[in-house]
Structure 1
Amino acid sequence: MKFFSSWYSQTAFGLPLVLLVFGCGGADNSTVSMRDGGSDGSTDSEVPADSGDPNATGPIGGPLVGEAADDRFGTAVAISADGSRVVIGAKLNDGGGDAGAERGHARVFERDGDGWVQLGQDLDGEADGDRSGSAVAISNDGLRVAIGAPLNDGNGNQSGQVRVFDLDGDTWTQVGEDIDGGRVGDQFGASLALSADGDRIIVGAPLANEVTGRAYVLDLVGGSWTQVGDFITSDHETGFAVAISDDGGRIAVSAPFPQSSDAYPGRVTVYDEDNGDWVTVGSALVGVENSEGFGASLAFSADGETLAIGATTADGGGNNSGTVRVYSLADSPFVQIGDDMDGPVGVQLGTSVSLSADGTRLIAGGSASANSTARLYVLSGDSWDEQTNPEFPVGRETGTSVAISPDGHTIAVASTLAGPASSSNRGEVQLYQLK
């Protein structure tokens, strides 16, 4: 689908961090190899899920490991409603091309006891340099996935692309046509999210319109993807992060970054659908301080009444500690729930964020230092209590992307620079079960 025909010059852009998965098993659903705690990756093991802890049962098997060196497995990840299926993207995987092709790919895994098996074939990028798997999403039932390839050239250099697939037996089959970005350099597909049934998708194109950015909502109608209402646009890389409620009737779109020397804290705007148009709900949420990257990540509760927002360069816990703020959207003006959840110095907590369907469990990641990590919080009254179980890895870009299943009982944490010592930067994703 081509949205626009005008042209503008490309601008350099740092892609939002998303989870990529490189499975170790083949497309025949053979069991995926998982690495134990050793550094050489020579021993495969399955860690029992039930540790007896009242809050967290611990890891589900060992980590899923990237396919090859420098894959950055875990760039993006998403989990089905019951936690039984996970889609993971690997944007630097060769995707069946020559070494260094960076086509990218995504793989879907299904839980099998205390481990995971690959479901269907690899979903490889179309062409060299696509970086497919930079963003991923999955429907609640785990039968539909969406994959963003922001550097695809389908409508001009780095115009970007999104493809959607349904599971048919043991094969992933594309649903509708390629959804292509409208212009050269848009990087359409850098962010995306699906409604619960997977029939509606929101896609960010943060470099569209000379870096002001845009977001688009599309419905699957008669086997084709059809735009709903006008595109959302403003400035400051609009569409860098996006979110959608379960029923698809509410969306959130961020514009987090200043342009040149602008004094700008970041902004997030919420919209409701009204007869096919997108109408602003309340006033835009803005960051507290200039240049805190407010809106670098977004996550809704199922009903769209609770919104979590990452601000990666906020300094509440020290320089570039990052923070996450959660808001109730039930009334206007919107009200913050609890205090800021600040990261350690330099970690940039809020690089990634995910909420359970009821909005009471939150996982956040920060991957910008040697102390990069993820943190799990549970809402208790009007405060967010950090959980000590499970214990997450530290370093190796842990927290590049995180996800929690809508039922709140399965979480995924990516470490995109992890992997066996002999094969650096393959990336790993560890899944955990929570009670």
Structure 2
Amino acid sequence: PQANNTNTSTSPRIWEQVGSDIVGTAVRNRGGFSVASSNNGKIIAMGSPHNNDVAPQAGHVRIFAWDNTANDWTQRGSDLLGEAEIDRFGWSVALSGSGGTVVCGAPLHDTDDSGHVKVFKWDETLSDYVVWGSLHEGPGYTWERWGYDVDVSDDGLTVASIAPSGWEGSMSSARVWGWNFTIEDWSPMGLNIEVDR
């Protein structure tokens, strides 16, 4: 009988670490609280929502790319920083398929915890991530906490976020934005998706 190429091995597959540990920049900044990866796994983002570089627990996000020469991870671009005390920027993070677009959430942004979402795009000329468009937050109701979780499409042109507390804490909400080439900015795609809690 003809032999087949079926692998009948029952040996378990083993994960092997790639490169060195990527650690937070300070004690208790919660580096790695959120992580995201490009499709090929060669660009990763790490959120540290308790980082104190700007203000106590303002948070930051760092991007790393695999360096074949160094055979290790190296930082790609500058730190992406929260804006104010207890923003918790980096609570959530998402990368597009290429790693060229990064979305960051800061659910405690603003004094009323309405939340905050920011989108950054890689600029080859500057060799850095720069703010892309004016998408900075949700509708802005008290306690909504936009940015609690975020996501981005493979092509980086569609962004989503949830607000777990909802308007005045009464319901949870989700919103989707798409890049509008006409106005060169983000536009809402439909109405909020709301669920009573």
TM-score bucket (shorter structure): 0.7 to 0.9
**Which amino acid is the alignment partner of residue 225 of structure 1?**
Y
Q: Does the CA contact (< 8 Å) of 2:43 and 2:99 recur in 1?
A: yes
Distance (Å, rounded) in 2 between the aligned partners of 1:50 and 1:228 = 49
Matches within 5 A, 1:33-432: 61=12, 114-169=13-68, 170-210=71-111, 211-221=113-123, 222-230=126-134, 231-233=136-138, 234-235=140-141, 236-258=144-166, 262=168, 264-275=170-181, 276-287=184-195, 289-290=196-197
Offset of 1:145 from its aligned partner?
0.5
Offset of 1:224 from its aligned partner?
1.2
1:77-107 Cα deviation digits (max 9, x unpaired): xxxxxxxxxxxxxxxxxxxxxxxxxxxxxxx
Q: Does the CA contact (< 8 Å) of 2:54 and 2:82 recur in 1?
A: yes
What corresponds to 2:3 in structure 1? none
Task: State the Cα RMSD in Å.
Answer: 1.9
Distance (Å, rounded) in 1 between the aligned partners of 2:190 and 2:8 = 43
Q: Percent identity?
A: 32
Distance (Å, rounded) in 1 between the aligned partners of 2:9 and 2:34 = 31
Instruction: Considering Cα pairs closer than 8 Å and 6+ residues apart, tell me whether 1 or 2 has the greater RCO.
Output: 1
Distance (Å, rounded) in 1 between the aligned partners of 2:32 and 2:8 = 28
Cα pair distance change 1:141/1:157, threshold 3 Å: same
**Which amino acid is the alignment partner of residue 97 of structure 2?**
A
**Which amino acid is the alignment partner of residue 242 of structure 1?**
V
Secondary structure (helix, strand or coil) at the match of 1:192 reads strand
**Which amino acid is the alignment partner of residue 207 of structure 1?**
L
Secondary structure (helix, strand or coil) at the match of 2:89 reads coil
Cα pair distance change 1:256/1:116, threshold 3 Å: same
Distance (Å, rounded) in 1 between the aligned partners of 2:157 and 2:166 = 29
Structure 2 unaligned spans of 5+: 1-6
Cα pair distance change 1:273/1:190, threshold 3 Å: same
**TM-score normalised over the length of structure 2:** 0.86
What corresponds to 1:400 in structure 2? none
Q: Does the CA contact (< 8 Å) of 2:117 and 2:146 recur in 1?
A: yes
The list of structure 1 runs, each at least 4 consecutive aligned residues, that deviate by more than 2 angstroms after superposition, is 48-51, 232-235
Q: Does the CA contact (< 8 Å) of 2:166 and 2:173 recur in 1?
A: no
Offset of 1:129 from its aligned partner?
1.2
1:272-328 Cα deviation digits (max 9, x unpaired): 0113311011111111x33xxxxxxxxxxxxxxxxxxxxxxxxxxxxxxxxxxxxxx
Q: How many residues align?
A: 180
Secondary structure (helix, strand or coil) at the match of 2:122 reads strand
Distance (Å, rounded) in 1 between the aligned partners of 2:33 and 2:8 = 29
Structure 1 unaligned spans of 5+: 1-47, 52-59, 62-113, 291-435
Distance (Å, rounded) in 2 between the aligned partners of 1:138 and 1:50 = 30
**TM-score normalised over the length of structure 1:** 0.40
